[in-house]
Amino acid sequence: MNDFKKKQLGMLIRCCVCIGCSIGMVSNCIGLFYTPMAQALGTGRGQVAAISTIISLSSAFFAQVVARLIKKVPINIVMGFGSLVVVLGFLALSFAKQLPVFYAIAVFMGAGDICFKSLTVSMVLRSWYGEKSGSKLGISMALSGVVAAVMNPILGKIIEGYGYAMAFRVLALLIGVLAIPTCFTIRLNENDESAAAAKKAAGSGEKTIIPFLVLAIFTTLPVAISGATGMNTHFSSFAVSLGYSLSFGATLVSFQSIFNSVWKLVYGYIADRLGYVRTSVAYMGMNIIACLILLFFSGSRIAIIAGTCIYAAAFSLNTVGLPILLQGVAKERFAEIFANCTMVQTIFYAMFTTLFGTISDTAGSYMPCLLMVICFSAIGMVMFMVIGKRTHTA
């Protein structure tokens, strides 16, 4: 293995660590704390869950700041300080006693979390792997599910034995040991032609011109993806609404988590060979097939499991597909446009998650929700095809 290959592998491992900590430990483990914190604070789970919502919204809004910051500050400094803020945030959470304090800490944690998440990691991988970075981003994103699967039971045991405060401190320690040195030693490939072109364009005041229709679609595409994936947290309730047991609903969630990682790996592999637009269209089509299975074969446990596993593919579009597609089309404008997409997607995903819950309560069924998911998936397919045609992207 030559020196360049070693550097590539080194940066891929670093990116996996960053995603494992930022998404795997922060985003995917925070839900474990809702019940024990609510019991300890004498409040409702909804009020505690607002911490996660604030972290997500803060990340979405601070993505705009990060997009501008990485043009002026080395990316490893931005990522390193972001990971440090998250570590200090978890430590602060372990000592906080009042909800307003938790909420204030969550704002800072969201700002730190976005610094070493999808936006920066996709830029690093693109600079080292070029057009073939899709499979590498898929590997990084898939690892977040593996980390969450390992950490959740461990943290559960710690919470049961020592309390949630100790679990927060364990997370702070792990992220401090893993993410901080990793982030500060990460680098963009200085010989990357696209990065050099971006610097030249930025210095001359020139920007890649994106067709207006495509730019408009990139503003609304995250809405379609949010609508297509908004059923994510409802599958256990969906099973119960059909008369199945809660344990079967929990089984669906487990299958969904596993295939969430599998489909991300598959997406990157296929996209590197067939192109990101074709792969994205296919994945949206799979989402429609999944909903049709859930609509017409809900009396079969095997069919519901199959539909749930196929549905998990749609999450690859936001975490893997959209960043890679944007890098190919937006070029040096990637950071600012991806930041906009992140903000829109985060806000609308939260809205659709609540909306689907409200609709199912009113209708007494999740069938209207599945029909909505089909509609948004179809809209997403059309948007991806228009982007491919207008930008001549495969």
Return the pLDDT at 394. 57
216 and 73 in a common domain: no
> Tens digits of per-residue pLDDT, 111-123?
999 999 888 998 8
Q: Which domain-ending residue is among 162, 193, 224?
A: 193
Q: If you average pLDDT over residues 56-61, what whole number do you get?
A: 86
285 and 170 in a common domain: no
CATH assignment of the domain containing 284: 1.20.1250.20
> Average per-residue pLDDT in the chain?
84
Q: What percentage of residues in the chain have a pLDDT greater than 90?
A: 30
Return the pLDDT at 82. 95
Return the pLDDT at 198. 47
pLDDT at 350 over 80: no
Check if the beta carbon of residue 32 is closer than 8 Å to that of residue 159.
yes
- 206 lies in a domain? no
- Residue with the bigger pLDDT between 177 and 349: it is 177
46 and 88 in a common domain: yes
Return the pLDDT at 202. 46
pLDDT at 313 over 80: yes
- 203 lies in a domain? no
Identify which of 46, 94, 110, 79 has the alpha carbon closest to the alpha carbon of residue 183. Answer: 79
- 107 lies in a domain? yes
- 38 lies in a domain? yes
pLDDT at 194 over 90: no
258 and 119 in a common domain: no
Q: What share of the chain is helix, strand, coil (3-state, %, to 5)?
A: 85, 0, 15
Lowest mean pLDDT among 4-13, 182-191, 333-342: 333-342
- 170 lies in a domain? yes
Return the pLDDT at 201. 46
Domain that holds residue 280: 212-391
- 201 lies in a domain? no
Q: Which domain-ending residue is among 135, 161, 193?
A: 193
Q: If you average pLDDT over residues 26-43, what whole number do you get?
A: 82
**193 band by pLDDT with thresholds 50, 70 and 90:** low
Identify which of 352, 344, 380, 358 has the alpha carbon closest to the alpha carbon of residue 56. Answer: 344
Return the pLDDT at 3. 82
Answering whether pTM is above 0.85, one says no
Residue type, position 86, single letter: V
279 and 170 in a common domain: no
pLDDT at 211 over 80: no
Q: Which domain-ending residue is among 160, 193, 226?
A: 193
Give me the number of domains the chain comprises.
Answer: 2
335 and 279 in a common domain: yes
**283 band by pLDDT with thresholds 50, 70 and 90:** very high
Return the pLDDT at 181. 95
C-alpha angle 306/312/318, rounded to 5°?
A: 160
Return the pLDDT at 290. 94
Return the pLDDT at 60. 84
279 and 320 in a common domain: yes
Instruction: Show the tokens assigned to 139.
Output: 């590997």
294 and 169 in a common domain: no
pLDDT at 26 over 60: yes
Residues in the chain: 394
Instruction: Show the tokens assigned to 163.
Output: 């309390």
Give the C-alpha separation, 179 to 62, whole Å.
20
366: phi then psi, degrees, rounded to nearest 5: -95, 5
266 and 151 in a common domain: no
275: phi then psi, degrees, rounded to nearest 5: 100, 155
- 171 lies in a domain? yes
Give the C-alpha separation, 349 to 335, whole Å.
21
- 348 lies in a domain? yes
- Residue with the bigger pLDDT between 288 and 229: it is 288
251 and 364 in a common domain: yes
110 and 40 in a common domain: yes
101 and 55 in a common domain: yes
Residue type, position 245, single letter: S
Return the pLDDT at 268. 80
